[in-house]
Structure 1
Amino acid sequence: MLTLGDIDSDAAAALLACYGIAVEHIGDDLAIPGSYWGEPEAGVIGEKVYARRDTPLHSLLHEACHLIVAPADRRDRIHTDASDSQAEEDAVCYLQIVLADFFPGVGRESLMRDMDEWGYTFRLGSASEWFDHDAQDARAWLGERGLLPIGVPPASIAV
């Protein structure tokens, strides 16, 4: 399972900054604030995602995507449990898979394998089956809010 320590964490922070999200790096021996699932999973408070080097990349992206999809007036009230609805949760899963393509050596296939290994559950049995054959509602939800399609990240980001 890929962790924040396995990738260029500065590039991850730069990509998420394009969405107004800050990544707060926590020392290896410190508790992760705002972690819903407990350590080493990422935490979320306000417009920050908290993570350590051993935080799984899928977890960092998942919490960041909760902030990306949240309306601006709700972001600052988010603490630990960021989910607003099942529709939003599905959209977050979809978006984290899409954003994985912007990390060299990661990509959506790798991220979906990690999601399956961690224990995400989907009606069709795996993240890839869901993404390829059952995620129409998530795509529509994101599209209605102007969050799709996602092109390449801005040129100023070296990911």
Structure 2
Amino acid sequence: MLRLADVDEQVIRNLLRRYALQLEHIAEGETIPGSYWGETEAGLIGSTVFARSDTPLHSLLHEACHLIVLPVERRAQVHTDATDSIAEEDAACYLQIILADSLPGVGRDRLMTDMDAWGYTFRLGSARAWFENDADEARDWLEARSLLPAS
């Protein structure tokens, strides 16, 4: 499973900056603020994504995408749990797969493999099957809000 330490952190910072988000790198062994799942999983508070070197990259991207899909005015209210909306959850999953293609050495194939290994659950049994065959509503939701990066 790819972790923050496996990629160029500056590339991640630049990606997040495009969406007016920040990455705060937490020291090894410290608790990650705003982490819904605890342990090594990324956390959210306001417009900041918190992660350690051992944070799975899919977790960092997923939490960042939760903030990206939120209207900017709602971000300030986020602490740990970004939404209970199924549409926003699906949009975050779809967008994290798309954004993985902009990260050298990552890409959607690797990210979807890591999502499956972590235990994301999709009706069709895998992240790839969902993304390729069942994610039309998530893509349409993102397109309606102009949240998909230009191809």
- Secondary structure at the aligned position of 2:116 is classed as helix
User: Post-superposition shift, 1:7?
Assistant: 0.3
- Give the structure 2 partner of residue 151 of structure 1: 150
TM-score by length of 1: 0.93
Find the aligned partners of 2:69 and 2:58 in 1 and give their Cα distance: 16
Q: Which amino acid aligns with 2:72?
A: A
Is it true that 1:131 corresponds to 2:131 in the alignment?
yes
Q: Which amino acid aligns with 2:86?
A: Q
User: Post-superposition shift, 1:85?
Assistant: 0.3
Q: How does 1:3-14 map to 2 (within 5 A)?
A: 3-14=3-14
Q: Which amino acid aligns with 1:117?
A: A
List structure 1 segments (4+ residues) > 6 angstroms apart after TM superposition.
Answer: none
- Secondary structure at the aligned position of 2:50 is classed as strand
Find the aligned partners of 2:38 and 2:102 in 1 and give their Cα distance: 27
User: Post-superposition shift, 1:151?
Assistant: 2.2
- Give the structure 2 partner of residue 85 of structure 1: 85
Gapped runs of 5+ residues in structure 1? 153-159
User: Post-superposition shift, 1:54?
Assistant: 0.1
Find the aligned partners of 2:34 and 2:2 in 1 and give their Cα distance: 21
Q: Which amino acid aligns with 2:101?
A: D
Find the aligned partners of 2:72 and 2:100 in 1 and give their Cα distance: 23
Q: How does 1:16-27 map to 2 (within 5 A)?
A: 16-27=16-27
Q: Which amino acid aligns with 1:142?
A: L
Percent identity over paired residues: 64
Find the aligned partners of 2:143 and 2:65 in 1 and give their Cα distance: 14
Is it true that 1:112 corresponds to 2:150 in the alignment?
no
- Give the structure 2 partner of residue 155 of structure 1: none
Gapped runs of 5+ residues in structure 2? none
Q: Which amino acid aligns with 1:147?
A: L
Find the aligned partners of 1:17 and 1:72 in 2 and give their Cα distance: 13
